Amino acid sequence: MARVMTEAGASSPAAREPRQPVPPLVVDLDGTLVASDLVLESLLILAKRSLRRLFAVLLSLREGRARFKQRLAREALPDAHTLPYNRALIAFLRAEKDQGRRLVLATGADAAAAQAVADELGLFDEVFASDGATNLSGPKKRDRLVAAFGAQAFDYAGNSRADAPVFAAARHAVLADPAPRLVRDLERTTEIAQVFVAEPPNRDTYLHALRIHHWTKNLLVFLPLIAAHQLYDGLLSARALIAFLAFSLCASSIYLVNDLLDLADDRAHPSKRERMLASGRLPLTRALALAPILAVAAFAVAFPLSHPFGDTLALYYALMLAYCLRLRGLMVVDALAVAGGYALRVVGGAVAVGLAVSPWETMFSFLFFFGLTLLKRYAELVTMHGMHGLSGKARAYLVQDGARVAIFGCSAGYSALLLMGYYINTEQAAYPRHDLLWLLWVLLLYWFSHMWLMAGRGRINGDPVAFALGDRTSLVVGGLALIALLLAA
């Protein structure tokens, strides 16, 4: 029994019987040729496009899985050009094709989705797929292949235990990222000719998917405590820390939902295509399971703290979910929604520690982060202009909107700083070292201007906060600002 382990990105010839005559090599699609699930991707595309049409398609499940897949494929299909293909397997298939071997794509996906992939790769001589009447998976796929080629007269490339009947009818097995249990089962029944193993998700994979580095945004919950000069109160600081954890878990849940719904756009983006879900390094099913778990954990932390805080967190989650599903496709409204999320962090911080919600802090946060969100959109437009010229766009914004977006964003940010300057002159800003607040104001003014200059030069390719965490100037200014704030308080 021959078995060759091949790491992703490398290849080594498998020990096999004499090549003449060589039987067809039949290749599965989901999880094998593509590190994704096309049905699930189509559902996510449709969820983003229209929830009403999504529910209508789901109702067609009553007519059977084959009919459901056909109806879904007519409504939404992922872009075959940007799918996360198994490059090592494709290199192997091309080598087999060059030697005259017949390649067949056989999948439980609908024929329209399968044909789109086949046309994109240009490798396959024939395509077997679900057709609206027959759901081509498991025993039905086996029967179709045996009828076409005969038992033990074809090799099969797959990765799922659902295809166990197909493997049993095949001569040799080619595995792509299989579960260890599948390998053990097949070793007793089928000769394994080739195994392609990609690096499995690890701790760093999950940390990147959850965007732990973006949890710094949730430090806004400490702003009311700092403004009230009570940061050194141990009990209140502990409550603020719990609020920080709740918002962080909630935000990570939203990040997963956002990345699930934004697969197509991320894959077309020069840097976002490397995200864990878009690149296929984290399975979609795991993200779908993890997102609600994180949300439940967030609310499990929030409501024992106080019901008003739990309500604030629920409002934040609902707003961000609406942003992911619909609002991010609306010009300016998307930035208003994101700014609202930042303002709710400040409100949540005040509610968590039992302080009155300050209109100064809330309005400053809203305007300042409205400006930063538009800065992100402007930076994306600069990137798209460099890639696609005047035909480029970022979400609902066109490259031609760049100058106006910059005006709106700068106006919002500088208005926030003007509001802060007015607040410093009021009696509410009763800090022991009041003069240091002006140093903080100047530092923020400088940093905001620096960020817009960096965006205009094309230096910011993603989230401005993420850029700032790796930007030396931003880190120095941030450190000085923190020192000024703590000394002033």
Q: Do domains 5-197 and 203-488 have the same CATH topology?
A: no
Q: For residue 11, what pLDDT is reported?
A: 43
Q: For residue 6, what pLDDT is reported?
A: 37
Q: For residue 20, what pLDDT is reported?
A: 54
How far does CA 124 lie from the centroid of its chain? 31
Strand (E) or helix (H) holding 12: none
**Helix intervals (H) in 17-132:** 38-49, 51-59, 65-75, 87-98, 111-121
Q: How many CA atoms lie within 13 A of 393 on its CB side?
A: 8
Q: Which residue has the tokens 């629920």?
A: 314
Q: For residue 426, what pLDDT is reported?
A: 80
Single pTM value for the model? 0.85
Q: Residue 334, class by beta-carbon neighbours within 10 Å (0-12 exposed, 13-18 middle, 19+ buried)?
A: buried
Angle at 181 between CA 176 and CA 186, to 5 degrees: 70
Domain boundaries along the sequence of the chain: 5-197, 203-488
- Best CA proximity match to 470, nearest among 299, 214, 248: 214
Tell me the C-alpha to C-alpha distance, in Å, between residue 265 and each of 19, 93, 107, 261.
Answer: 43, 28, 25, 9
- CA–CA separation, 314 and 321 (whole Å): 10
- Best CA proximity match to 485, nearest among 440, 435, 423: 440
pLDDT 10s digit of each residue in the chain, 489 long? 333 333 344 444 444 444 457 899 999 999 999 999 999 999 999 998 888 999 999 999 999 999 999 999 999 999 999 999 999 999 999 999 999 999 999 999 999 999 999 999 999 999 999 999 999 999 999 999 999 999 999 999 999 888 899 999 999 999 998 888 888 888 888 888 889 988 888 999 999 999 998 898 999 999 898 888 887 888 999 999 999 999 999 999 999 999 999 998 888 877 788 899 999 999 999 999 999 999 999 999 998 999 999 999 999 999 999 999 889 889 999 999 999 999 999 999 999 999 988 888 899 999 999 999 999 999 989 888 877 787 777 778 888 999 999 999 999 999 999 999 888 888 776 777 777 888 999 999 999 999 999 999 988 887 888 888 889 999 999 999 888 887 877
Question: What SS3 state is found at 397?
Answer: strand
Question: What SS3 state is found at 106?
Answer: strand
- CA–CA separation, 221 and 237 (whole Å): 10
Q: Tell me which CATH code domain 5-197 carries.
A: 3.40.50.1000
Q: Copy the structure tokens of residue 191.
A: 């000769």
Q: Which one-letter DSSP state was computed for residue 462?
A: S
Q: For residue 109, what pLDDT is reported?
A: 95
- CA–CA separation, 298 and 434 (whole Å): 37
**Helix intervals (H) in 99-233:** 111-121, 139-149, 164-169, 180-187, 203-210, 223-227
Q: Tell me which CATH code domain 203-488 carries.
A: 1.10.357.140
- CA–CA separation, 93 and 58 (whole Å): 35
